[in-house]
Structure 1
Amino acid sequence: MEYRKLGNTDLALSAIAYGAFAIGGTMWGGNEKKDSIEAIHAAIDQGITTLDTAPFYGYGLSEELIGEALKGKDRSKVQVLTKFGLVWDGSNNGKGEHFFDMQEDGKTIPIYKFSSKANIIKEVEESLTRLNTDYIDLLQQHWPDATTPIDETMEAMEALIKAGKIRAAGLSNAAVELMKDAGKTFTPASNQVYYSMLHRDIEQELVPYAIENKIGLLAYSPMERGLLSGKYFENNQLKADDHRNGYFSQFDLKKVESFLTGIRPIAESKNATLAQLVLRWTTLQKGITTVLAGARNAEQAIANAQAMQFDLTTEELAFIATELNKF
């Protein structure tokens, strides 16, 4: 495994991080606790020291599973990353920015973006309890909240660093302008952003800005929630409540399948899967500190880590770029 310094912090993150969205179960057709714990353990055993979660993932369940999995582990050897700012329990009393509505067991649950100082401090204490730890390595604003001034949000995170509750503070899903505004109060260490072979918008402005200002970029959804693994085209049976039924409809699936067929020989030449090739490609892109890869069982976690066991030549990267430019 390769480890990379995060921005101007003293944190070193594994190039592949464990993304814990799916093990929360919500929006992913449920989860299996035993498999989830084993996946986290396998990831750590393979050198994946960076675990990324959020309170929203399973309404706290994802954080709880990580907390349970880390019992007996050397906490100093693992970086726990979590977030704040998505409220589902009504504790915001209608404040914040309405994001969307979740449908759970016939009930409508409104989700709000809410990043006030008081809410951040409240959420951090709740996360610390669920994670069974006394500090968070990187705390991130999950989504920008238009109703709360960014300086209030950054001041809260700076205070949490001084209090020893968190080691570093970052943003997520933030555009360059918001990053600039945030930096007027407290320079964020990172920005967690949507980035994949099929979604490369950040390359235009965000990546150059992050590189220039030494801000780490954490790439999420590099596999497009499993689409780029190629498995969907082999067996596209998804559970009825799996959100990917709608998510995949945004893509020209015939073009995606053709693209994957075109790059498959590169994966085969490395004795690797398509998923591993996609992950490795993502780790090699400019400005990317770490790439989040989800795993719902030990086998998937091990496979993700093994994506770092091969490299890509200049010629192979150029071929992939040519194929991507056909989209």
Structure 2
Amino acid sequence: MEYRKLGNTDLELSVITYGAFAIGGNMWGGNEKQDSINSIHASLDHGVTTIDTAPFYGFGLSEEMIGEAIKGKDRTKIQLLTKFGLVWDGSNNGKGEFFFDAEDEGRKIPVYKYASKANVIREAEESLKRLGTDYIDLLQLHWPDNTTPISETMEAMEMLIQQGKIRAAGVSNYSVDQLKEASRTLKVASNQVAYSMLNRAIEKDLVPYSLETETGIIVYSPMERGLLTGKYFRDSKLKENDHRNGYFTQFDLPKVEAFLKAIEPIAQAKGATLSQLVLRWTALQPGVSVVLAGARNAEQAIVNAQAMNFQLNEEELKLINDELGKI
């Protein structure tokens, strides 16, 4: 495993970071608790020291399982990253910005973006309790809330830093303009954004800005929710309540399948899987600090961790990029 400093902080994170969205169950067709806990243990055993989660993942379940999984382990050797700002339990009293209706066991649950000072503090306290810890390494705003001044949200996180409840403050899904506005109040450590071989929009302006300002980039959805593993093309049947049934329709699937077939020989030559090749390529892109990779069981977790066990030379990277240009 490789480790990188996050932005301008002293946080050292594992380049492959455990992404804990899927183990929350909601929107992913469910998951078994013991499998989820085993996947966390396997990650830690194979050098993945960083875990990224959020209260919204499973409506608190993801954080609770992480807290259970790390209980009794050396907390100083684990970096916990979580978020705030998506409210589903009505505690926002109708305030904030309506985001979407989530589904939980057939029920529709309205989710709001809400990042007021009081809500930041409330959610941080609840996350600390669910995670079973007295500090969070990186607290991130989950999505921008257009009803709350950015300065108010940043002031709340700065207060939590001063109190020792969080080590660093980050954001997610922020534009360059939003990062600039936030920097007037607080220098954020990182921005967590979607990035993959099929979604490279951040390369235009966010990556140059982040490199210039020493702002870390945490990448989510590098596998495009499993599409780039190639498994979908071998067994395309997903559970009916799996959100990916609709998500995958945005891509030209025949071209994606052809691309994966074209780069698979590189993976085979490395003794690696397609998913490992995709993760390794992503980790090598300019500005990328760490790459989130989800796992539903121990086997998947180990495969993700081992993506850092090989290198890609310039010729191999060029071949991959040339094939990407055909999509």
Shorter-chain TM band: over 0.9
- Map Cα deviations across residues 38-87 of structure 1 (whole Å, 9 max, x no partner): 00000001000010000000000000000000011100000000000000
The 1-side partners of 2:120 and 2:201 are apart by 29
| Structure 1 unmatched runs, 5+ | none
Give the corresponding residue for 2:66.
Answer: 66
Give the corresponding residue for 1:103.
Answer: 103
Q: How does 1:120-269 map to 2 (within 5 A)?
A: 120-269=120-269
Quote the offset at 1:105 in angstroms.
3.3
The 2-side partners of 1:147 and 1:97 are apart by 6
Is 1:83 aligned to 2:83, yes or no?
Answer: yes
User: Which amino acid counterpart does residue 129 of structure 2 have in structure 1?
Assistant: T
The 1-side partners of 2:66 and 2:294 are apart by 13
The 2-side partners of 1:205 and 1:110 are apart by 33
User: Which amino acid counterpart does residue 39 of structure 1 have in structure 2?
Assistant: S
User: Which amino acid counterpart does residue 281 of structure 2 have in structure 1?
Assistant: W
Which deviates more from structure 2 when the two are superposed, residues 106-115 or residues 254-263? 106-115
Give the corresponding residue for 2:18.
Answer: 18
- Map Cα deviations across residues 184-217 of structure 1 (whole Å, 9 max, x no partner): 0001100000000000000000000000000000
Give the corresponding residue for 1:53.
Answer: 53
| Structure 2 unmatched runs, 5+ | none
User: 2:26·2:103 contact (CA, 8 Å) conserved in 1?
Assistant: no
Q: How does 1:296-311 map to 2 (within 5 A)?
A: 296-311=296-311
User: 2:9·2:189 contact (CA, 8 Å) conserved in 1?
Assistant: yes
Give the corresponding residue for 2:285.
Answer: 285
SS in 2 for 1:167: strand
Give the corresponding residue for 2:113.
Answer: 113
The 1-side partners of 2:37 and 2:157 are apart by 29
Quote the offset at 1:183 in angstroms.
0.2
The 2-side partners of 1:106 and 1:243 are apart by 14
User: Which amino acid counterpart does residue 271 of structure 2 have in structure 1?
Assistant: N
Quote the offset at 1:280 in angstroms.
0.3
- Map Cα deviations across residues 104-160 of structure 1 (whole Å, 9 max, x no partner): 334321100000000000000000000000000000000000000000000000000
- Map Cα deviations across residues 2-26 of structure 1 (whole Å, 9 max, x no partner): 0000011110000100000000000
TM, length-normalised to structure 1? 0.99
SS in 2 for 1:158: helix
Residue identity (%):
70
Give the corresponding residue for 1:43.
Answer: 43
Quote the offset at 1:270 in angstroms.
0.2
The 2-side partners of 1:107 and 1:39 are apart by 28
The 1-side partners of 2:219 and 2:303 are apart by 18
User: Which amino acid counterpart does residue 103 of structure 1 have in structure 2?
Assistant: E
User: 2:27·2:103 contact (CA, 8 Å) conserved in 1?
Assistant: no
Give the corresponding residue for 2:5.
Answer: 5
SS in 2 for 1:302: helix
Give the corresponding residue for 2:324.
Answer: 324
User: 2:28·2:241 contact (CA, 8 Å) conserved in 1?
Assistant: yes
User: Which amino acid counterpart does residue 284 of structure 1 have in structure 2?
Assistant: L
Quote the offset at 1:326 in angstroms.
1.4
The 2-side partners of 1:44 and 1:168 are apart by 22
Quote the offset at 1:235 in angstroms.
0.5
Quote the offset at 1:325 in angstroms.
1.2
TM, length-normalised to structure 2? 0.99
The 2-side partners of 1:59 and 1:6 are apart by 27
User: Which amino acid counterpart does residue 204 of structure 1 have in structure 2?
Assistant: K
Deviating beyond 4 angstroms after TM superposition, the runs of 4 or more aligned structure 1 residues are none
SS in 2 for 1:127: helix
SS in 2 for 1:103: strand
The 1-side partners of 2:119 and 2:274 are apart by 41
